[in-house]
């Protein structure tokens, strides 16, 4: 099961730990056919699992799912037919979908999710009669599908929130194996840990922190009289090169790959930028995640039709770095190829379902 050298702090499961018999003679309903939904449904079907896709009658993804050879019903009918209901619609619509399908969940069924937000913060309150699990691939859905087709795996998280049958973990692991994740490794966690670390990472580092750091660096150079083009290259364009190095082999490999000048400058000046005050701000962000303040704010924002969200998004889109980047990206050969691939993917899979 776990790493034999005990290198991990959490249990890590692999194919040898999974027993597909926990899905035998069961129907899995995949609600939604967006980024994760299409990958889960197709991988499950290719693994021999009986799958039904649940989509609204007017969903733009119905044709795509049927073209992929999958049976499509409404979410309520799909849930009624299923033993395992995998809810892969966006967080903001999950409570509404759950309210519609909840009467169809029978004793011993499984409600499964790929993110713990709504369960952790009480927007979805599952009945005691069902198992509640989470299988969350740590990759966009198109890579989950691509890796499966290539005979490879995508790491995933596994969590059990409610174990009514006593077999929730085994069934969740069988599901993770059927979508290909056990080929790589399935790390056990909890709904609370997954939700709170996910939100913190997005806000403080991956999305919020990186975006603000990038804009601040860009603005500092431009305000000092340097050209917008040079500021863009140095503070945004080259960011991907550094992140790729860290992603592939960690921080040490990144330091080994950059010049000695870059390494010394980064090691001696990085802490001047990300100082103790930044760490204190991060702790404040984490506290707002832990105490539910962010969740309540985001729920209220959606109920009010997202006024602050739209305002901030418009401001971000109108930042000067975006206009400069749009011009400069035309110089790269990969831009046209990437745009074509994204357009094709958007036509095949609707992220709104």
Residues 6+ apart with CB under 8 A from 84: 23, 26, 27, 28, 29, 109, 110, 112, 171, 175
Name the region of 67 (left: φ>0; alpha: ψ -120 to 50; beta: rest).
alpha
Specify burial of residue 319 (Cβ count, 10 A radius: 0-12, 13-18, 19+). middle
Report the length, in residues, of the chain: 353
CB 127 within 8 A of CB 107: no
User: Could you say which DSSP state residue 87 is in?
Assistant: E
Tokens of 272: 């001047």
The rounded radius of gyration (Å) of the Cα atoms in the chain is 22
Q: What is the C-alpha to C-alpha distance for residues 15 and 70, in angstroms, rounded to an integer? A: 25
Q: Return the active site residues.
A: 115
Give the CA-trace dihedral at 41, 42, 47, 50, to 10 degrees.
Answer: 50
Instruction: Give φ, ψ of 219 to 5 degrees.
Output: -65, -35
For residue 18, which of 146, 143, 174, 192 has the smallest C-alpha distance? 174
Q: What is the C-alpha to C-alpha distance for residues 295 and 285, in angstroms, rounded to an integer? A: 12
For residue 79, which of 130, 34, 134 has the smallest C-alpha distance? 130
Tokens of 24: 């035998």
CB 178 within 8 A of CB 112: no
CB 44 within 8 A of CB 51: yes
């Amino acid at each position: 099961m776990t790493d034999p050298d005990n290198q991990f702090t959490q249990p890590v499961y692999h194919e040898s730990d999974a027993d597909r018999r926990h899905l035998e003679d069961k129907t899995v309903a995949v609600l939604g056919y967006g980024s994760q939904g299409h990958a889960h449904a197709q991988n499950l079907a290719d693994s021999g699992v009986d799958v039904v896709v649940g989509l609204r009658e007017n969903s733009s993804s119905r044709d795509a799912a049927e073209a992929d050879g999958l049976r499509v019903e409404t979410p309520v009918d799909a849930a009624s037919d299923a033993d395992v209901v995998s809810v892969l619609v966006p967080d903001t619509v999950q409570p509404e979908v759950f309210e519609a399908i909840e009467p169809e969940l029978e004793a011993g069924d499984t409600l499964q999710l790929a993110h713990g937000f709504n369960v952790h913060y009480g927007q979805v309150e599952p009945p005691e009669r069902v198992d509640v699990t989470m299988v969350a691939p740590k990759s966009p859905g198109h890579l989950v599908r691509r890796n499966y087709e290539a005979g490879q795996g995508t790491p995933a998280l596994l969590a059990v929130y409610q174990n009514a049958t006593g077999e929730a973990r085994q069934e969740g692991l069988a599901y993770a194996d059927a979508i290909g994740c056990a080929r790589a490794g399935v790390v056990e966690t909890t709904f609370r840990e997954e939700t709170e670390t996910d939100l913190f990472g997005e806000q403080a580092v991956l999305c919020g922190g990186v975006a603000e750091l990038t804009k601040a660096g860009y603005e500092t150079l431009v305000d000092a009289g340097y050209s917008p083009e040079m500021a863009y290259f140095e503070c945004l364009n080259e960011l991907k090169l550094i992140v790729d190095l860290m992603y592939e082999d960690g921080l040490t490999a990144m330091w080994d790959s950059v010049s000695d000048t870059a390494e010394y400058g980064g090691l001696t000046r990085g802490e001047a930028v990300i100082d103790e005050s930044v760490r204190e701000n991060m702790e404040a962000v984490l506290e707002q995640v832990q105490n539910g303040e962010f969740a309540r704010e985001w729920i209220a924002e959606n109920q009010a039709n997202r006024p602050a969200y739209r305002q901030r998004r418009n401001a971000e889109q109108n930042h000067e770095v975006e206009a400069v980047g749009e011009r400069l990206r035309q110089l790269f050969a990969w831009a046209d190829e990437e745009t074509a691939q994204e357009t094709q993917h958007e036509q095949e899979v609707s992220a709104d379902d």
